[in-house]
Amino acid sequence: MKISDFLTVNDNLNEEIWIGAEGDILNPEVSRHLISVAQDFFNDLGLEGTELEDITFTGSLANFNYTKFSDIDLHLLVDFTKVDENIELVKEFFNAKTSNWNKKHNITIFGYEIELYIQDSNEIHHSTGIYSVLNDSWITKPNRIEPEIDENMVKRKIKSFIDMIDRTDDKLDLQKYEDANLEANKLIKKIKKFRKSGLEDRGEYSYENLTFKYLRNHGHIKALFDIRDQSYDRMNSLGGKYDKKFKIFIKNDENAGETGFHSLNELEKFQKKVKRRHKRMKRRLIGRGKQKTGPAYPKKPNYKRSKSAPPGFGGV
C-alpha cells in the first residue's frame, strides 16, 4: 500500500476540463453539459417555489490532486428552509434522490463520471477548490501545494476500517442479518463523520480524507453499502433459503458412532475465516451477482472457493 497510489499532486489542472492561458477556465462545452444535467435533475424533483441558487464544481477535478479514479463532484445549492422547516427531513429526501440518480446513471465527461449532490446553501462547504458553473467563476481557487502526509497514520486508519468492514461482512456471511445491517449503518455514519472532520480541520490532504479516498477507490465503500442493502433485503424476506444449514456427510461407517470434535468432520475457526476471506475478496473483485449476463459470460460467476488439487498435481 503506497500513498502515491491514491495521492497525486499534478502540475496543472486537468487540461480536458480546464482551458485558457492559465488553464483555470472551465471548458464551455463541459459547462453546458454540467448545467444541462443539473437542471434536468432539479426540474424532475418538482419542487415548486424552490430556486436552484447555484451549481458548483468541486472535488479533486477542481484541484491539482485528480487521478483516474476522480469523479466530477457537482453540487446543486438549494436553501433547505424554503423546502420545509424540518431540515433533517429535507436532507434525507435529497440524499435519497441523489443516491438513486447516481446509482441509475453513468454520465461521463471525458471519462470522468458525474456525481450529483444537493447542498444546503446555508451550509459551509470545506474544499480548496470550488467553481461556480452558473456564474463561470471561482469561489475558492485552488493552489498547488506539496502536502505533508502522515503516511503511517493513513495506513493504520485504512487497515482499521477495512477490518471493520470485513467483520461486518462476516456477519452477513454467517446469516446474522440484523447484526450486519446495524453494524453497516453505524460504520457508514462513522466513515462520513470521520471524513467530514478531516476536511473541516485539515482539508483535502487530511489523513481522514485520504483514508476515505483509498476505501472508495478500492471498492470498500461500495462493499459496505452492498452489505447494508443485502442484509436489509434478507432480514425482511419470507420463504427464502437464507437460513438453510449445510451439513457435511462423511461416508465412513467407522466414524458413525464417534462423538466430540474431529478435524475431518468439522471446520475450525481459522479455516472458516480463510474461506470467508476468500469469498469476500472474490465478491469484491467480480461484484455481488448483480451484473448482467451476456454472450461472453452467459452464466453468473461462482463465489465458492475452488477445490484444492489432489496429491501429485503440484507440478513437481
Q: For residue 228, give the H/E element and its range.
A: helix 220-235
- The reported pLDDT for the residue numbered 196 is 86
Cα distance between residue 300 and residue 220, in whole Å: 22
**Rg of the chain on CA atoms, in Å:** 24
Choose among 45, 66, 193: nearest CA to 128.
66
For residues 270-291, one letter each, b for 16 or more C-beta atoms within 10 angstroms of the residue's C-beta and e for the rest, the string is: eeeeeebeeebeebbeeeeeee
The Cα angle at residue 233 between residues 232 and 234, in degrees rounded to 5 = 95
Choose among 30, 49, 52, 32: nearest CA to 41.
52
Cα distance between residue 231 and residue 223, in whole Å: 12
> What are 82-95's pLDDT values in tens digits?
999 899 999 999 98
pTM: 0.62
Ranges in the chain, pLDDT < 50: 242-267, 288, 316
Q: Is 104 exposed, middle or buried (0-12, 13-18, 19+ CB in 10 A)?
A: exposed
- The reported pLDDT for the residue numbered 110 is 95
- Helices H / strands E in the chain, number of each: 7, 8
Nearest 10 degrees: Cα torsion 22, 23, 26, 28:
90
- The reported pLDDT for the residue numbered 250 is 39
Cell 469484491, residue located: 284
φ/ψ of residue 145, rounded to 5: -135, 150
Q: For residue 120, give the H/E element and its range.
A: strand 112-120
Number of residues assigned to the chain: 316
Domains of the chain: 9-140 (3.30.460), 151-235 (no CATH)
